[in-house]
Structure 1
């Protein structure tokens, strides 16, 4: 076992101070749990120091004062089990303490340590025994191995979030993807919509154009194909479109503050939605005829039909947002005028300018984004026969496919990256190949080949590497390896540039960064008070969902700046537990959207169809709702909850129910310098109370299921009930429905059976632990039938 620094605390307060010192420090009292964990090296990280609190005076007493049973945090389980006070006033606590393992454990283990002990889980405790070290969700890994592995001893009521899920981390907007997928599985589309709309008011658009980085992080990829998140989101976006009046509503009250938004792209629309929802007056300025930015003008109809964008813009306008389109800031109105007439300004002007690559003959090429904007003009004239598209991202794919569908005889795409490095999504690359686009990888652009004013080709050189050793974009080339691609038309889709000239020299100097972008802080604020920025204008060219994230963050911070801080409520689960569909997660092949055959694809019609009825729910069932599905190991916590005990710490007093159920780890409830000092249990009169526990062997403390119960009955009918279940959920679980049912019911077998069924009604067991439901019902029935 590793050597640790050893410190001894003389008081709980001193122990708290030591905990707060630099480094990872942990307490040791009985040591029955901690020593084994350290010896067996089951943790990914180990503490720097052990703080011994065993000898703190008066920390292990058990007494009754003023109708309250007081137990010091360092009282051993043997003391609690054998104390006459505990046996008399809280017998179920005495029974719970006695049920913990061997006499040796009871003699050493403390009541405080039992409440705070770490999980009992096969994958957590024995990480090497499946052929390789496992880093489970509770240790900071991506998944709970019970979801696809041995789940005999795990929760039958769902899991709890151990940390942010990989898919949500992969989403630039931070969408709580598992939460809305769970609601869709449950058939609650309204709740799913509200979860998504917290961070993304444009899901009907992003689901059609986003490269969905979330799916690259999906844990189902370890077993098969990722969950088709963007397809489910598309169905959800379609649902929102049909119910716009429910989700895009004018505010109930006005703040009297006004905000101007310059640019109606993804970030601007997002900021407008949230700012207006918070009650501010919002005006959007956009130089184009219609708002929407790149969503309206830079993405082809076959990927994003413009009627969807118009529908969203109209819905935001119906909330009370004023759109002044066809108004170019810097020409039709000065930015200073806008700033003077508003309380705050948000800048979102995108990246529409063509960057100069410095190629000979570059002026004879076309700019990819302009090509997409002007595609309707190309439809009225003949496109060149042999088109060369330069670039490897989704814009390049859009340009190439558009050229194909305009009637070009040959379309070739050349890019720096190798196929696996291309920034375009796999789906878009596959679509381009399917429609006849030839892709040439690993070539850079050397010069345009032209005769007089007519392009005839592009000279390329071999690209040796796209990025440097630090991962920064820094291509290197082999100029001895040259190859010319013949072409009548060269379209450059190698990126866009931000143009800040609309700000004027003085204003631009106040907000511009050295990179030629608008410089913003972590709250999207510029150096100019009250002026915020986001989207491509602040980051450079990027995907729409990142601009949406910036627009949402800016809206929240602008509102705070105006004196109206936003308070978010994020409760998504009705009882706090994560659930998944056991059979659905075993389907390792994703459900796909139906596509138009190649022969029927055009520039005007959408290539893909949204899921048919029922398919979104089916695909949502493939989500494992990754969290921790291990169960709380503490018998004492279950008993304290049933007794309505209070946890006394060096900083506060908190009910055991709140302390033991609010977080996956009880220890996470403690503040950095906080230490449990004692437990206070109100003396209960006139109740029959017991702690019943099913386990494999009496010498093993782990509860397969347990029931801490208090019952009152008069004249053969129940007048009171408190039932807390252990070993069946990530935290102790109060059986509230069963408690309510018992009141007024006659004592007897039928009542016991009905209450037991109610207590397990919401159980969602794994395939291998369904037996726990039966055992729980049996233990609970026995506890009820003990009443005569």
Structure 2
């Protein structure tokens, strides 16, 4: 695939990014495309691997290895190299319903499993993928695919995130009639409100939603099952129901002062910011404004990084992000071997912005918050922390111990808690009488069926918090199972 000697002739070229000091002045996507010619050269770097691992899509010891939706990456890399963009699009859409999302916000485990990545920078798979789909829209190659027949079967999908959208897309193309129910005022789930605009502009999400509507999918917004429509009514009106509600129950912080004014869950901050941006370009004031404030983000993951980037754009006075683990190594650790995704130090977009604006990477490692202190009015004013040592004993058990003398007080008027998600919210599965195990909807890994006849579950609600690309895989998988379920029942009748 690609040019046989391309990986020896050409270097990896990074996606173009607006300079940090410029991009923090706006909420537009900070990354843009390379030229077609540059991407053809990047496609040329794809090696003629005997066994390409980039599209194997498995997890090894909990770490992703390859593309979960099994994108046939070498094939469309080769087509791009040869300038056959429309054919590359057709090949890409065979496995991926929404390349415009994954090409922007997927962490690209495919690149970590690229054979070239054993010794050199990986093929720029993500950049190529994004450009293929964007050119598809720009050139009119993406047109509504309206099914030529309808089966007469109705399916309700609850949740309009990537899993729900993928399931709906697949089933709609099979001729079933699909209605997606979303409790928010806009469709898209985490694509709309969980990912900030500078990573994924909402026009990109809205463009896809509009296309799905033109293809016959109905969206019902501002509607919560159990309040606006009962579970029984939904089951009675449909031949199958799919729950794709995500793992939206955020993990709260429980310590002295955590109820102080100014302490917020990260997703509440990100959601209010995006909604106000879309509703009024912040004129309505319906968002948490960190301008001129000292901000602490507790939690070292991507959601915390998005909080950092959002606070910077609001012109906060300072920002720090607390993580409990040590700084990642510059190169793969011995237990993080290829082809798993490399856990190495990276200066991602938010950290590069903070580094330029404030003169340092905002991340603090191996740090524990001991308490939050409020002023006389109940407003947070400071955090008390201590450094920790990560210890791995002879049995391989990991624990942390405090380092005496490292206590520190941090000024803060806003604290955003980004320590992950507990799992699915229980109210909805309880409405259906569905079992929940370990805060995940108990649904079969083989056919996504729950303990209630005709009710299925997929995505983070079933699997637990994961990547967008895994959600798409789940959506495609549950669609296949529901289609088979309906066919079996049609024969039985």
User: When the two structures are superposed, what TM-score results if normalisation uses the length of structure 1?
Assistant: 0.49
CA distance in structure 2 between the partners assigned to 1:178 and 1:189 by the alignment = 14
Residue 403 of structure 1 and its aligned partner are, at CA, apart by 0.2
Q: Which residue is 1:305 aligned to?
A: 201
CA distance in structure 2 between the partners assigned to 1:202 and 1:331 by the alignment = 31
What are the superposed Cα offsets for residues 305-336 of structure 1, whole Å, 9 maximum, x if unpaired? 10000000010111100000111111101122
| SS at 1:387 equivalent | strand
Question: CA 1:235–1:556 in 2, change beyond 3 Å: closer, same or farther?
Answer: same
Question: CA 1:431–1:469 in 2, change beyond 3 Å: closer, same or farther?
Answer: farther
The answer to whether structure 1 residue 403 and structure 2 residue 325 are counterparts is: no
Q: Which residue is 1:59 aligned to?
A: none
Structure index of larger Rg: 1
Q: Which residue is 2:439 aligned to?
A: 516
The answer to whether structure 1 residue 558 and structure 2 residue 482 are counterparts is: yes
Q: Which residue is 1:446 aligned to?
A: 370
Match 1:236 to one of 101, 109, 132: 132
The answer to whether structure 1 residue 166 and structure 2 residue 47 are counterparts is: no
Q: Which residue is 1:526 aligned to?
A: 450
Determine if contact 2:159/2:244 at 8 Å carries over to the other structure: yes
Determine if contact 2:55/2:68 at 8 Å carries over to the other structure: no
Determine if contact 2:290/2:414 at 8 Å carries over to the other structure: no
Determine if contact 2:252/2:417 at 8 Å carries over to the other structure: no
Match 2:355 to one of 429, 433, 443: 433
CA distance in structure 2 between the partners assigned to 1:336 and 1:482 by the alignment = 55
CA distance in structure 2 between the partners assigned to 1:325 and 1:372 by the alignment = 20
Unaligned runs of 5+ in 2: 10-45, 58-65, 330-342
| SS at 2:440 equivalent | coil
Alignment of 1:114-129 (within 5 A): none
CA distance in structure 2 between the partners assigned to 1:468 and 1:316 by the alignment = 53
CA distance in structure 2 between the partners assigned to 1:425 and 1:250 by the alignment = 43
| SS at 2:252 equivalent | coil
Question: CA 1:476–1:269 in 2, change beyond 3 Å: closer, same or farther?
Answer: same
Match 1:328 to one of 210, 224, 231: 224
The answer to whether structure 1 residue 415 and structure 2 residue 316 are counterparts is: no
Report how many aligned residue pairs link the two structures: 411
Q: Which residue is 1:578 aligned to?
A: none
The answer to whether structure 1 residue 536 and structure 2 residue 466 are counterparts is: no
CA distance in structure 2 between the partners assigned to 1:164 and 1:559 by the alignment = 31
Determine if contact 1:244/1:315 at 8 Å carries over to the other structure: no
CA distance in structure 1 between the partners assigned to 2:210 and 2:139 by the alignment = 13
Q: Which residue is 1:493 aligned to?
A: 418
Question: CA 1:183–1:541 in 2, change beyond 3 Å: closer, same or farther?
Answer: same
The answer to whether structure 1 residue 202 and structure 2 residue 98 are counterparts is: yes
Question: CA 1:544–1:424 in 2, change beyond 3 Å: closer, same or farther?
Answer: farther
Match 1:476 to one of 397, 400, 413: 400
Residue 195 of structure 1 and its aligned partner are, at CA, apart by 2.2
CA distance in structure 2 between the partners assigned to 1:319 and 1:553 by the alignment = 20
Match 2:272 to one of 345, 364, 374: 374
Q: Which residue is 2:335 aligned to?
A: none
Q: Which residue is 2:470 aligned to?
A: 546
| SS at 1:165 equivalent | coil
Question: CA 1:249–1:564 in 2, change beyond 3 Å: closer, same or farther?
Answer: farther
Unaligned runs of 5+ in 1: 1-143, 150-157, 566-788
Residue 439 of structure 1 and its aligned partner are, at CA, apart by 1.6
Residue 297 of structure 1 and its aligned partner are, at CA, apart by 0.7
Q: Which residue is 1:707 aligned to?
A: none
CA distance in structure 2 between the partners assigned to 1:334 and 1:215 by the alignment = 44
| SS at 2:432 equivalent | helix
Question: CA 1:424–1:488 in 2, change beyond 3 Å: closer, same or farther?
Answer: farther
Residue 556 of structure 1 and its aligned partner are, at CA, apart by 1.2
Determine if contact 1:397/1:424 at 8 Å carries over to the other structure: no
Residue 366 of structure 1 and its aligned partner are, at CA, apart by 0.9
User: When the two structures are superposed, what TM-score results if normalisation uses the length of structure 2?
Assistant: 0.76
Determine if contact 1:384/1:489 at 8 Å carries over to the other structure: no
